C-alpha cells in the first residue's frame, strides 16, 4: 500500500513538473534566451575592450617612438586623446610622457588630466595613490601649503605604501620654506610609522641629524 502511494505521489510530481514546463514554456525559453544573449554580450564587450586597449597601446608606442620636439603639437593632441580614452594603463603613461618631456606647460591643464585619471578611471588603490602623489610632486614647487596637503590628504589619512613618500615630500616642502619645525614633524612621522619604507626612513633620520641635531 505504501509503495502504491509512493508511486502515485511520484507520478503526481512528474505530472506537475511536466505541466509547469508546458505552462511556462515561453517564459523559460525567454529566460534561456536572455541568459545566452547576456553571455554573448559580455564576451563581445570583453573582446572589444581588449581590442581597443591593443589599439591604444599600439598608438601610444607609435607616438612615443616617433616623438621629436619639432612635432610636439601633434604629439600633444595624440597623447591627450589617449588620456581621454580613460584607459587605466595608457592614460597615466600618456600624462607622464607629456610632463616628462615638457610638451604641455599649462599647469591647470595638466592638473585637469590628473583629476580625470584620479576621479574617472577605476584604478587599483595603490596605483591611484601613486597618481595622487605624482600630482602633489608636480605641484610642490608652486602650490600653497593648504593645497598640497589637500592633494595628499587621501594618502596621509591611509596606510598606503605611498604615505612615507608623501610625508617626506611635505618635509622637503617646509624645509624649502625654511619652516624647520613643520619639516621635522613630518620626518618624525616617517620614523614612527610602523611599515615605513626603510630607505625613506633612513633619509628622514639623516635629515633630522643634518638639520635638527645639536
Same domain, 152 and 213: yes
Residue 3: the pLDDT is: 53
Q: Tell me the average pLDDT across 72-98.
A: 92
Whether residue 191 has pLDDT greater than 70? yes
Answer whether residue 202 is part of any domain: yes
Whether residue 45 has pLDDT greater than 50? no
Answer whether residue 70 is part of any domain: yes
What does the DSSP assignment read for the chain?
-HHHHHHHHHHHHHHHHHHHHHHTHHHHHHHHHHHHHHHHHHHHHHHHHHHHHHHHHHHHHHHHHS--GGGHHHHHHHHHHHHHTT-TTHHHHHHHHHHHTT----HHHHHHHHHHHHHHS---HHHHHHHHHHHHHHHTTT--HHHHHHHHHHHHTS--TTHHHHHHHHHHHHHHTT-HHHHHHHHHHHHH-TT--HHHHHHHHHHHHHHT--
Same domain, 119 and 149: no
Domain count, the chain: 2
This prediction's pTM: 0.74
Domain that holds residue 192: 145-214
Q: Tell me the average pLDDT across 87-101.
A: 93
Whether residue 67 has pLDDT greater than 90? no
Answer whether residue 211 is part of any domain: yes
Answer whether residue 68 is part of any domain: yes
Domain boundary among 123, 153, 178: 123
What band does 43 get if pLDDT is binned at 50, 70 and 90? very low
Amino acid at each position: 500500500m505504501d509503495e502504491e502511494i509512493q508511486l502515485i505521489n511520484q507520478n503526481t510530481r512528474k505530472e506537475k513538473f511536466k505541466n509547469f514546463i508546458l505552462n511556462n514554456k515561453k517564459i523559460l525559453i525567454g529566460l534561456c534566451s536572455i541568459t545566452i544573449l547576456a553571455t554573448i554580450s559580455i564576451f563581445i564587450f570583453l573582446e572589444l575592450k581588449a581590442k581597443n586597449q591593443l589599439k591604444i597601446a599600439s598608438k601610444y608606442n607609435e607616438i612615443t617612438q616617433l616623438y621629436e620636439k619639432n612635432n610636439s603639437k601633434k604629439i600633444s593632441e595624440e597623447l591627450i586623446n589617449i588620456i581621454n580614452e580613460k584607459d587605466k594603463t595608457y592614460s597615466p603613461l600618456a600624462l607622464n610622457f607629456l610632463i616628462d618631456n615638457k610638451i604641455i606647460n599649462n599647469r591647470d591643464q595638466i592638473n585637469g588630466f590628473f583629476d580625470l585619471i584620479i576621479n574617472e578611471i577605476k584604478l587599483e588603490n595603490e596605483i591611484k595613490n601613486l597618481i595622487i602623489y605624482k600630482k602633489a610632486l608636480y605641484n610642490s614647487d608652486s602650490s600653497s601649503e593648504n593645497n598640497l596637503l589637500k592633494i595628499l590628504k587621501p594618502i596621509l589619512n591611509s596606510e598606503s605604501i605611498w604615505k612615507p613618500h608623501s610625508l617626506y615630500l611635505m618635509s622637503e616642502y617646509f624645509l624649502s620654506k625654511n619652516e624647520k619645525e613643520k619639516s621635522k614633524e613630518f620626518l618624525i612621522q616617517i620614523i614612527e610609522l610602523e611599515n615605513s619604507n626603510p630607505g625613506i626612513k633612513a633619509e628622514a633620520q639623516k635629515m633630522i641629524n643634518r638639520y635638527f641635531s645639536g
